[in-house]
Amino acid sequence: MNLLILTPLLFTVTESWQVLIANPFAGGSHQSVSIYLANVLARNSHQVTYLSTNMPKQLHKEVVKLDLPRSAEVANTVMDSSAEKQTKGVTRTWSQRFEAFTEISKFCQYFYEEPNVQTLMKSGKRYDLLVAFGALDGCAMSLGRYLEINNTVLHLPGPFLLPAHITQLGIPLYSSSHYVHKFRLADSTPLRESMLTRAGHVVSQFGVGIVASLFFQYTTDTVAYKHVPAYTGYKDLYSTVRLIFMHYHPHPLVDTPLPMGPGVINLGGSTCDLAYNPDHIPADTREFVDSSPGFILISFGSHVQSLREEEVELWVKVFSTLPYSVVWRLVGHTTLLPDYIRTYKWLPQRALLKHPKIKMFISHGGYGSKIESTCAGVPLLFVPRFAEQFETAQQCSDLGTAEQVLMKPGETTAEEITRKIRRTLEVHSRRIKEVSRQLLQTRVTDDQVLGYLDMAVSGHRLLPGYQPWWQYFYLDLIVVPAVVIMIATYLIRKFKS
């Protein structure tokens, strides 16, 4: 009897999806999630096409890889320029900001001119799902419109991208009355904000919507109208979004417990490596760290590879006072380094963070680095450079899970950095291990992620659609009761008279 029941199951074929993962402006946080999603899908027999700049090496062997070399050159130039100015303490003028914005606006045009994108557009291949990544996601989503993909999952890697995209998706909740990326369970100050303050947030959010609209019109619309016959504007693109994946984790000492409602899935912790795998570390690097008394990992992100010589010398002075080896992602320096410091153009960061001899991680405060270090239980010292990194560093410092150093040329001393490193090792190493354990226990599993993707492929829309402006700003909730009360008051007074 049991055999009769099981026999049909032996011939059941699991439905296979055709998934396009388009990650044209790939920073570290984008890559960690896109690699994770590609590999989870490929391991479960789904057909994945991976379209990206800076093609990663960790992709599953069954994933079809389509590189974007010209777009990568533009993206890296823009990001390197921004990071270099911040590293050197240069304040950009408005004309320089506009110049950078103009460079970014060219990116979508370069994207459509890529040979692999052209091949994809001519192939006529049908896809069940598009996974697009925040920043210049309009380029990927307009390509999805050309390919007639009506199911999209959007990934947002950091809090600085939230307001604009939440505005486009028309999600009210706290997004229009609170700065959601400053909402924290461990620090409930925003919940006690006055009505006047919240009204100010609503007005600023309206401004964000205008800026986002101008950004999309300038960077996406002019190009997409030229290349996509069915294109009707960036707002139409968002009608295909079924889910948002956030690179967050709702632990109060890791992240904001964002009150975003259904359709916004926190992936923080899902991308964690659960075990140390020495094969992921090159032989020469592995030999160096294995023979060390313990080592410090230092990396300032995928877009900051070189530093001012004065800063390199400052760090060398700091490391000379510590009893550890140093593994450093750094190129283009002329400072003579001691034997206990090794520099590399590229490092397997996640694998090194799981190495049993690692002592701490000195990071720029990128979101991917923060999550990966927390996953591994490795204490952090943040040296923020630009964008949301300052906010991430300040948040973790406020919550007592990390230290931060604001690198100011000519002002920051070796003694200050050394003091904060020692405090990180003595105080935060215990706290971060506790938080790491809790993060791993509450993370979204691979099966849950596949379940959410299944809903997206099936066409279930868990996100609210576009809302009229009076709903977005709660005017229907405010004006309607007010009018009812006014009418009732008028009628009562009239009958009494």
pLDDT digits (tens, 9 = 90+) for 87-124: 444 445 556 556 656 666 678 888 899 999 999 999 98
Average pLDDT over residues 256-261: 61
Q: What mean pLDDT value characterizes the chain?
A: 81
Q: What is each CA distance from 462 to 195, 307, 323, 345, in whole angstroms?
A: 30, 45, 52, 42
- In terms of Cα–Cα distance, which of 425, 435, 412 is closest to 379? 425
Average pLDDT over residues 211-232: 82
Q: What are phi and psi of 23, to 5 degrees?
A: -130, 70
What number is the average pLDDT over the span 158-176? 60
| Cα distance between residue 100 and residue 25, in whole Å | 15
pTM above 0.75, yes or no: yes
When pLDDT is averaged across residues 153-164 and rounded to a whole number, the result is: 70
Q: Measure the CA–CA gap between 414 and 183, rounded to whole angstroms.
A: 34
pLDDT at 9: 40
* pLDDT above 70 as % of the chain: 78
Is residue 86 scored above 60 in pLDDT? no
The average pLDDT across 390-401 equals 82
Q: What tokens appear for 356 in the block?
A: 């049993």
Least confident of 28-32, 177-181, 206-210, 366-370: 177-181
Cβ atoms < 10 Å from Cβ of 264? 22
Asked if the model's pLDDT at residue 375 lies above 80, the reply is yes
Backbone φ and ψ for 53, nearest 5 degrees, come out as -80, 165
pLDDT for the residue numbered 328: 92
Round to whole Å and give the CA distance between 97 and 355. 41
pLDDT for position 102: 67
Q: Which two tokens stand for residue 206?
A: 């309206």
CB distance 386 to 86 below 8 Å: yes
What pLDDT does 340 receive?
Answer: 93
Asked whether the predicted pLDDT for residue 257 surpasses 90, the reply is: no
What's the CA gap between 63 and 76, in Å, rounded? 24
Q: Is the pLDDT of residue 314 over 70?
A: yes
Q: In the structure encoding, which two tokens stand for residue 413, read together?
A: 């001393």
- Quick: pLDDT tens for 39-60: 999 999 999 999 998 888 889 9
Q: Bridge partners of 360?
A: 296
Domains parsed from the chain with CATH numbers: 15-271+446-466 (3.40.50.2000), 278-442 (3.40.50.2000)
The alpha-carbon radius of gyration of the chain (Å, integer) is: 25
Tell me what the mean pLDDT of segment 154-168 comes to.
67
- Classify the C-alpha dihedral 440-446-448-452 as positive or negative: positive
Q: Tokens 């008051």 map to which residue? A: 489
Is the pLDDT at 479 greater than 60? The verdict is: yes
